[in-house]
Amino acid sequence: MEKYSLGNVESRFADIVWEHAPLTTGELIKLCEKELGWKRTTTYTVLKKLSERGIFQNQEGTVVVLINKEEFYARQSEHYVERSFGGSLPGFLAAFTSRRSLSDKEIREIQDIINRKQ
């Protein structure tokens, strides 16, 4: 499993943590049991897995967030552009627009982003 990708089930779990963090493992287990119907061991397994990917950390019974949700998805899309378009954002945009044209509003937003960087 790649570092910056979450399966749908994993992301449901990650959402719970992002929403409630920092929280104790006990609380997390209760939340997961209620929302996902998981057993204690399953929660621990998934938490461990996501901790290994550097997203969360279990600090003596308290679950803390190392990468927050926005950061994670930003890195994920960076990673995606990197992998699929050799890091070329224009390439990505070209692929994105090849099938449908951008609306004026979208063009303006992109222009704003570029202007801010300058």
42 lines the binding site for another protein (CB under 8 A)? yes
Residue 12: CB minimum distance to another protein, A? 6
How many Å apart are CA 40 and CA 5, to the nearest integer?
Answer: 24
- Of residues 17-36, those binding another protein (CB under 8 A): 36
Question: In terms of Cα–Cα distance, which of 61, 12, 62, 63 is closest to 38?
Answer: 12
Alpha-helical runs (H) found in the chain: 8-20, 25-36, 40-52, 69-85, 89-99, 104-117
**Using CB under 8 A, which of the segments 23-31, 37-45, 67-75, 91-99 binds another protein?**
37-45
Within 13 A of 53's CA, how many CA atoms are on the CB side?
A: 19
86 lines the binding site for another protein (CB under 8 A)? no
Residue 116: CB minimum distance to another protein, A? 34
Pick one of 19, 24, 45, 89: the residue that binds another protein (CB under 8 A): 45
Residues within the interface to another protein (CB under 8 A): 7-10, 12, 36-39, 41-42, 45-46
